[in-house]
Amino acid sequence: MTKKTYPYRLLTPGPVPLAPEVLKALSEPVRHHRTPEFQKILLRSLENLKWFFATAQPVMMLAATGSGAMEAALVNTLSPGDEILVIVMGKFGERWAEMGEHFGMKVRRLNVPWGESVNLDTLKIELLKNKQLKAVLTQGVETSTATVADIKEISKLVHEHSEALLLVDAITGLGAMPLPMDEWKLDVVVAGSQKALMLPTGLSFIALSSRAWERTKNARTPRYYFDLSQERKANEKGQTYFSSANSHVVALDVVLEKFKKQNLKTLQARCALLAEATRESGKLLGFSVYSKSPAPSVTALQVPDSVDGAKLRDHLEQTYNVTVMGGQDQLAGKILRIGHLGYITDDDLTAGMELVAQSLNDLGYKVDAAPALKVLKATLAKGPHVS
Ligand SMILES: *Cc1c(COP(=O)(O)O)cnc(C)c1O
């Protein structure tokens, strides 16, 4: 059979498949951003974002991918020369460390072995040793290794032992697991459109605690496009600082209203269920779970030794029209990363895993898919289902 006979299935940790009503919203005629109709949608979205972040603080949107909001977090709260501690659990931690260096901050890296979550005792020692730290930066989920961090405990440690702000890249964390910003005292939280918010790539989101807003007053890193004080002022007038990404915002409104109907717990439970089904069926196909602290939003399956993971990924895409991610750097060819965010039906995951099994067989690694699919279906049957 050729590729054409298989429907396209996107099972990556961003971008993610979109819900039918979101696709519909995106196909509507563009409405100018200075119309009362659009302003109403914008204001409602900004209000709903507060609910999504679980914060009383304003949440702002930036017409940039997630990395733009990561940059905004740094340049609005820090100055060149500030000492910061970056928890590096993989590629995205590395990105934040590089950004810090680029903007002239003194970056201390807390390097964590890939596939592991940061050790809390080690973090505590770093905090006690470095009283001058202005910020601690971490990922909620390190997408490159599919590993989750214990943000609640990290936050407690940071606030107990330092004056540092805690900046959390929650781009693949928010929506997949509890991360209540105010309750857990997170100082900056960053999210992205093509992950849990189930939109096309291109928007990112950021909220600051009142402590973090206080720091913006003395933060001397140059900023123009990402000046959050200006953004906030514009939002208060029902506008964005620059042109609104109008189609994205219209779709965002649909997503957030949908999420509110489902509630956050159901959304999180759905991610956890897809993750569990992927891990349990994956093990029965000969994979092992790569991460020691597996995330609910993405699963990294380590391929059997005799299988070339890069070939497996390409075969799955070229032959069966299923896209998953491989590994980067030291993990190249060693893992498949399967995403659990977005509009993923039971059928999407079932077909995806069945075709992973088929691909293994095609490449000469003989495996019986039946027991894995049985476990997969039994797990998914527990619900919740996608709606
Ligand atoms: C996707 C992602 C980002 C942002 O990447 P962009 O390509 O800029 O959207 C940042 N951090 C994590 C953990 C991510 O998964």
pLDDT values of the chain reduced to their tens digit, one per residue, 387 residues? 555 689 999 999 999 999 999 999 999 999 999 999 999 999 999 999 999 999 999 999 999 999 999 999 999 999 999 999 999 999 999 999 999 999 999 999 999 999 999 999 999 999 999 999 999 999 999 999 999 999 999 999 999 999 999 999 999 999 999 999 999 999 999 999 999 899 999 999 999 999 999 999 999 999 999 999 999 999 999 999 999 999 999 999 999 999 999 999 999 999 999 999 999 999 999 999 999 999 999 999 999 999 999 999 999 999 999 999 999 999 999 999 999 999 999 999 999 999 999 999 999 999 999 999 999 999 999 999 987
C-beta of 12 in contact with ligand 1 (< 6 A): no
Kindly give the distance from the C-alpha atom of residue 167 to the centroid of ligand 1, in angstroms, as a whole number: 15
**What residues have CB less than 8 Å from 275, skipping those under 6 apart?**
294, 295, 296, 297, 298, 299, 340
Distances (CA, A) of 274 to 34, 278, 353: 41, 6, 11
C-beta of 65 in contact with ligand 1 (< 6 A): yes
For the whole model, what pTM was predicted? 0.98
Distances (CA, A) of 177 to 19, 162, 273: 20, 26, 12
Residue 286 has a pLDDT of: 98
Kindly report the protein residue whose alpha carbon is nearest to atom 14 of ligand 1.
171
For residues 252-286, one letter each, b for 16 or more C-beta atoms within 10 angstroms of the residue's C-beta and e for the rest, the string is bbbbbebbeeeebeebbbbbbbbbbbbbebbebbb
Return the best residue to mutate from 172, 179, 325 for the ligand 1 pocket (most ligand atoms within 8 A of CB).
172
CB 158 within 8 A of CB 138: no
Kindly report the protein residue whose alpha carbon is nearest to atom 12 of ligand 1.
171
Rounded distance between C-alpha atoms, residue 222 and residue 202, angstroms: 23
Question: What is the maximum alpha-carbon separation in the chain?
Answer: 62
Residue 57 has a pLDDT of: 98
CB 181 within 8 A of CB 57: yes
C-beta of 192 in contact with ligand 1 (< 6 A): yes
pLDDT, tens only, 175-191:
999 999 999 999 999 99
Cα end-to-end distance, the chain, whole Å: 31
pLDDT, tens only, 357-378:
999 999 999 999 999 999 999 9
Residue 281 has a pLDDT of: 98
Counted residue by residue, the chain has a size of 387
Q: Which atom of ligand 1 is nearest to the CA of 70?
A: 10
